[in-house]
Chains A and B, each alone.
Chain A
Amino acid sequence: MYRERLGIRPGTWLGMAAMVAAAMAALPAAAADEATKSGWGLLNLPVGVTSISRDVYSIHMMAFWVCVAIGILVFGVMIWSIIFHTRSRGAVADVTLVHNTKVEIVWTTIPVLILIGMAIPAAHGLVLISDDSHSQLDVKVTGFQWGWQYDYVGKGVSFISKLDAKSMAASELDSGISPYSVPHYLRNVDHPMVVPVGTKVRLLLTAVDVIHSWWVPDLGIKKDAIPGYINQSWFEVDADKPGTYRGQCAELCGRGHGYMPIVVKALSKSDFQAWLKREAAAEKAAAARMASSS
């Protein structure tokens, strides 16, 4: 009977599990700069460029492999019964097998131990992430519909950062412009946030209208920006990893939610100081112009 034959089919699951494991095993490769490579290879978290992001990455992989291991075990047993304990193979049900205290104790305690094993590194990492003391640079980040405002506390530098014009144009309904023709489509801004490498930067997050969420995967942090409250978070880009890191708003905030990216440019300390000077001067000039014109 066809239904008996179906018995072996679920074996495909084994294949699937293997496929998944294989795919995920090739993951760290995906850490390379996203835009340059095709999407097929983007399967995993980026390792990132901060101590936090690396921490998170290792916790993530640890959890992943634990699950794969347990999965292979549990699915293995299931598949075994599905293949061999079938009526088509003349298997006769052992109706006495209804409960076994020893086994049940074992499979209650072992998961507990595994979980403790996972909880310890997770808790440890969490404690590190939560320590935002001794920051060397404070930036107040204000989310609004739809963009971000960055105020460099005490540095006289403050600007608004929005989706860049090219992406904006291409993202119109039936714009006719191919997203592929736009560099960093939807992940580029007119005025990126600039930070020095090797410096502990503390973010003071808030919002003016609705809840937004500031997220840059390579920095390993995501924190909600809540109207009327200040949330704190921090990151420190490795001294040897200047570069541009991109993210997006990660809390539904209305029509423009998909259109408020975050771009962080990490410069060497000296370059940053130079940038800061230029920026401050420029803003003074602008302010002066405003004053005179009015």
Chain B
Amino acid sequence: MANAQAPAHAHGDDHYYIPHGSPWPIIAAVALFCLMWGAVAYLDDWAGAWAFVPGPILIFYMFGGWFHTVIGENQLGIYNAQVDRSFRMGMMWFIFSEVMFFGAFFGALFYARVLAVPWLGGQGVKGLTNLILWPRYEAAWPTNGPGHIGGENFEAMSAYGIAAINTLILLTSGLTVTIAHHALRSGNRGRLKLFLAFTFILGFSFVALQGHEYYDAYTKLNLRLTTGIYGSTFFMLTGFHGLHVTIGAIMLLVVWLRVLRGHFTPRQHFAFEAVSWYWHFVDVVWLGLFVFVYWL
């Protein structure tokens, strides 16, 4: 019987926030489906590049709509502290999953450098591989492999050119976003706007510079995605990172626009924090890239 004595006044709705049905998730699912089908159709030559169009359009529509709803609800102050906590935890674990995704590619890089290439070069337990299958191949890094996949010769990407500049850019942007955060907390909107602007401008310039780096790689260094394992790991790692920087910069821009609209309070600003976490994550991944892909 004890349970029947639950306080009568305690009515759920003011304790817990439960959103009612929303069309956005299903739209997201459909959008993803279109994107994937588009990719299949294109890669399989059933259709031209236009097959790619519907997916992304739907995706952008969905993000716009979904975030619009959430932001609206947020401004109405529907969310309580618990919901805010849920969002934070959710974002953290999402970032963790992203880290694991990059982990797979770093794993591939280390495996190739520490095991595969030396084996092909005649060292270690699979030494005979070199003697019998790839005579005259010497293990080295960077390499396009014993089959010289992607052309006889290419040049490695230097760590001291654009890469170094980009490192500085990202580190600075990490700093500026932190300054912006402190400004937001201390209610200094002016500085907030300024440094947040710095941050996404730095972000976009990073992307621009990387674009230039890729251009050089293809035109001057003869370094391509198809340049053996070096080209594969280089472009896939920096490419996925660049993609994340782009997304992050766009999110920063959106947050900045919201700031201009007077959103966020010194105490309530989950979206801002989420984006800044994401930005720091992108930052850290880059350091890993700089050390293992460019430098060592």
Contacts and interface: CB of A to CB of B under 8 A. Distances in A.
Interface in A131-150: 140
B114 to A, nearest CB: 15
Interface in A186-244: 204, 206, 228-232
B126 interface: yes
Interface in B111-164: 119-120, 126, 128-129, 132-133
Interface in B80-137: 119-120, 126, 128-129, 132-133
A74 to B, nearest CB: 37
Nearest to B132: A230
Contacts of A206: 132-133
Contacts of B120: 228-229
Nearest to B145: A228
A231 B132 CA distance: 11
Contacts of B126: 229-231
Contacts of A232: 128
A209 B129 CA distance: 16
Interface residues of A, number: 8
11 contacts: A140-B132, A204-B132, A206-B133, A228-B120, A228-B129, A228-B133, A229-B119, A229-B120, A230-B128, A230-B132, A230-B133
Nearest to B125: A232
Contacts of B133: 206, 228-230
A204 B132 CA distance: 9
Interface of B: 119-120, 126, 128-129, 132-133
B294 to A, nearest CB: 27
Contacts of A231: 126
A230 B126 CA distance: 6
Nearest to A130: B125
A274 to B, nearest CB: 28
Contacts of A228: 120, 129, 133
A116 B231 CA distance: 46
Given A206-B132, A229-B120, 11 more contacts: A140-B132, A204-B128, A204-B132, A228-B129, A229-B119, A229-B126, A230-B126, A230-B128, A230-B132, A230-B133, A231-B126
Nearest to B131: A230
10 tightest CB-CB pairs across the interface, nearest first? Answer: A230-B129, A230-B128, A229-B129, A230-B132, A229-B126, A230-B126, A204-B128, A230-B133, A204-B132, A206-B133
Contacts of B128: 204, 230, 232
Interface string A174-191: 000000000000000000
Contacts of A230: 126, 128-129, 132-133
B134 to A, nearest CB: 8
Contacts of B119: 229
A229 B119 CA distance: 8
A133 to B, nearest CB: 13
B246 to A, nearest CB: 36
Nearest to A228: B133
A282 B7 CA distance: 98
B125 to A, nearest CB: 8
Contacts of B132: 140, 204, 206, 230
A231 B126 CA distance: 7
A204 B133 CA distance: 11
A81 to B, nearest CB: 32
Nearest to A231: B126
Nearest to A202: B128
A154 to B, nearest CB: 12
A230 B121 CA distance: 12
Contacts of A204: 128, 132
A212 to B, nearest CB: 16
A235 B160 CA distance: 53
Most chain B beta-carbon neighbours within 10 Å: one of A140, A204, A230, A232? A230
A231 B133 CA distance: 12
A230 B131 CA distance: 9
A231 B129 CA distance: 8
Interface in A17-66: none
Most chain B beta-carbon neighbours within 10 Å: one of A204, A206, A228, A232? A228
B175 to A, nearest CB: 46
A230 B119 CA distance: 9
A228 to B, nearest CB: 7
A206 B128 CA distance: 11
B226 to A, nearest CB: 17
Nearest to A227: B133
A232 B129 CA distance: 10
A235 B119 CA distance: 24
A57 B128 CA distance: 30
A44 B296 CA distance: 53
Nearest to B134: A228
Contacts of A229: 119-120, 126, 129, 133
B120 to A, nearest CB: 8
Nearest to B129: A230
A204 B128 CA distance: 8
Interface string A102-134: 000000000000000000000000000000000
B139 to A, nearest CB: 14
B119 to A, nearest CB: 7
B128 to A, nearest CB: 4
A190 B259 CA distance: 78
